[in-house]
């Protein structure tokens, strides 16, 4: 197989593999889900997925664990004390950069 | 009607801006990895345009650099992206508005971890306009970030570039923690999910599993335990849907 064909096929397969799991649930017949368990389960998904995505990955986001932990602590404090996402993000970036610069 | 759609769109754009900001460093490093692996800037940019997924693309480009078989590239990506099944299922359940097939496919394509989190915790109306604003904004950040990362490589000071890797997690904290503070059930679910996620990070046997598993397993277990311990009695989405019909 020549290199260009390989690249094109690989790009196509990666595209299909990322689109398929997102599309299938939207093709299901839309109707009220009767099961209280399933409804609650689907409602709680955003929170549980966020927990799994943040921790412990946030502590290893940069090459310096100390800088990452500092950024994480600032992000947690800002997230709990004010409402704007952008403030939380920028505050955490600045704190992380500061520690990276000091070490 | 049209005016309302426009304002929903701009609300979507506002919600999409922090997501786009968070995507830039990720996309940037993805572009950089592709270039250092010997590809020109077109390959990573096209991949970002077609796939719109962080972990899957990272694994994909790494396997391409190692000339892995096409079947293994496909299977690894399916496993990494399996978490989207759960997210799309949850989102499909939340969208009460009737939408055309094309619009649903648009929303499905834009269903990234971040867009899903922002949309499912959004308090306003989940209209197509909102999704369009949110997803087009974050998609632009993703594709442009890849292009710029690939073309310019490392023009940013390394410290800033590295510090930017915290962005996406800080944004996730901003989404999750206010709900944790307000709702005991959410707090317990988050703690369970984090505890299981840590196991996948620190227990040697589990760390060898393909990435994606470490997200999907804690997500499903914690949400299931939550649904079992704290069933939600009167779902207001249901009443909304009944009014629509």
Select, from the ranges A30-39, B26-35, B183-192, the one with the highest average predicted confidence (pLDDT).
Answer: B183-192
Domain residue ranges of chain A, discontinuous segments joined by +? 55-103
Q: How far is A91 from chain B (nearest CA, A)?
A: 9
- Interface ipTM: 0.86
Among the ranges given (A75-79, B68-72, B183-187), the one the predictor scored with the smallest mean pLDDT: B68-72
Nearest CA in chain A to B222: A48
Averaged over successive runs of 10 residues, the pLDDT of chain A (103 residues) comes to 89 95 87 79 86 91 94 97 84 95 92
Question: What percentage of chain B has pLDDT greater than the value 90?
Answer: 43
The continuous run of DSSP H or E covering B64 comes out as helix B54-65
* Yes or no, beta carbons of A89 and B21 under 8 Å apart: yes
Closest CA to B44 of B114, B149, B164, B165: B149
Pick from B51, B181, B201: which is nearest to A15 by CB? B51
Decide if B59 contacts B77 (C-beta within 8 A): yes
- Measured between beta carbons, the chain B residues lying within 8 angstroms of A33 are 93
Distance CA B62, CA B44 (A): 11
Decide if A43 contacts B106 (C-beta within 8 A): no
* Yes or no, beta carbons of B165 and A61 under 8 Å apart: yes
Which residues, in sequence order, are CB contacts of B58 under 8 Å at separation 6+?
A: B30, B33
- How many residues are given for chain A? 103
Q: pLDDT value at position B145?
A: 87
Tens of pLDDT along B215-244? 888 989 999 999 999 998 754 444 333 333
Q: How far is A86 from chain B (nearest CA, A)?
A: 6
Q: pLDDT value at position B211?
A: 66
Distance CA B125, CA B121 (A): 11
Pick from B121, B167, B241: which is nearest to A46 by CB? B121
- Measured between beta carbons, the chain B residues lying within 8 angstroms of A41 are 223-224, 226-227
- Measured between beta carbons, the chain A residues lying within 8 angstroms of B170 are 71-72, 74-75, 78-79, 88-89, 91-93
Nearest CA in chain B to A45: B223
Q: pLDDT value at position B190?
A: 97
* Yes or no, beta carbons of A14 and B51 under 8 Å apart: yes
Decide if B64 contacts B73 (C-beta within 8 A): yes
Own/partner contacts of B3-8, CB < 8 Å, gap of 24 or more, are B4/B127, B4/B129, B5/B127, B5/B128, B5/B129, B6/B129, B7/B129, B8/B124, B8/B125, B8/B127, B8/B128, B8/B129, B8/B130, B8/B133
Which residues, in sequence order, are CB contacts of B33 under 8 Å at separation 6+?
A: B44, B58, B61, B62
Residue B212 clears pLDDT 80, i.e. is over it: no
* Yes or no, beta carbons of B198 and A54 under 8 Å apart: no
At B34, the pLDDT band (50, 70, 90 cuts) reads confident
DSSP A51-99: HHHHTTGGGGSSS-HHHHHHHHHHHHHHHHH---HHHHHHHHHHHHHHH
Q: pLDDT value at position B6?
A: 58
- Measured between beta carbons, the chain B residues lying within 8 angstroms of A2 are none
DSSP A29-53: PP-----HHHHHHHHHHHHHHHHHH
Closest CA to A61 of A100, A101, A91: A100
Quick one: tokens of A11? 């790009």
Nearest CA in chain B to A31: B93
Tens of pLDDT along B155-174? 667 787 788 778 878 888 98
């Amino acid at each position: 197989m020549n290199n260009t064909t390989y690249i094109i096929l690989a790009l196509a397969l990666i595209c299909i593999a990322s689109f398929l799991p997102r599309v299938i649930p939207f093709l299901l017949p839309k109707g009220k889900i009767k099961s209280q368990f399933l409804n609650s389960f689907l409602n709680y998904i955003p929170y549980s997925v966020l927990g799994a995505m943040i921790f412990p990955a946030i502590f290893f986001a940069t090459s310096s664990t100390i800088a990452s932990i500092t950024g994480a602590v600032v992000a947690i404090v800002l997230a709990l004390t004010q409402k704007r996402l952008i403030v939380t993000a920028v505050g955490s970036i600045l704190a992380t950069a500061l520690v990276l610069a000091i070490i | 009607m049209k005016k309302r759609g426009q304002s929903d769109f701009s609300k979507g754009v506002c919600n999409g801006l922090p997501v786009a900001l968070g995507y830039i460093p990720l996309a940037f490093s993805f572009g950089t990895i592709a270039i250092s692996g010997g590809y020109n800037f077109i390959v990573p940019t096209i991949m970002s345009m077609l796939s719109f997924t962080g972990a899957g693309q990272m694994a994909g480009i790494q396997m391409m650099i190692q000339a892995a078989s096409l079947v293994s590239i496909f299977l690894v990506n399916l496993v990494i992206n399996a978490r989207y099944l759960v997210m799309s299922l949850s989102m499909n359940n939340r969208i009460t508005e009737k939408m055309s097939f094309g619009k649903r496919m648009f929303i499905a394509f834009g269903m990234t971890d971040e867009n899903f989190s922002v949309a499912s915790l959004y308090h306003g109306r989940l209209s197509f306009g909102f999704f369009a604003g949110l997803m087009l904004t974050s998609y632009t950040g993703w594709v442009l970030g890849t292009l710029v990362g690939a073309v310019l490589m490392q023009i940013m000071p390394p410290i800033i570039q590295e510090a930017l890797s915290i962005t996406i997690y800080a944004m996730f904290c901003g989404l999750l923690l206010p709900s944790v503070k307000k709702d005991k059930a959410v707090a317990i679910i988050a703690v369970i999910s984090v505890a299981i996620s840590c196991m996948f990070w620190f227990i040697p046997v589990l760390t060898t599993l393909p990435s994606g598993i470490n997200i999907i397993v804690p997500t499903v277990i914690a949400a299931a335990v939550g649904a079992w311990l704290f069933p939600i009695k009167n779902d207001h989405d249901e009443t909304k849907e009944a009014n629509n019909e």
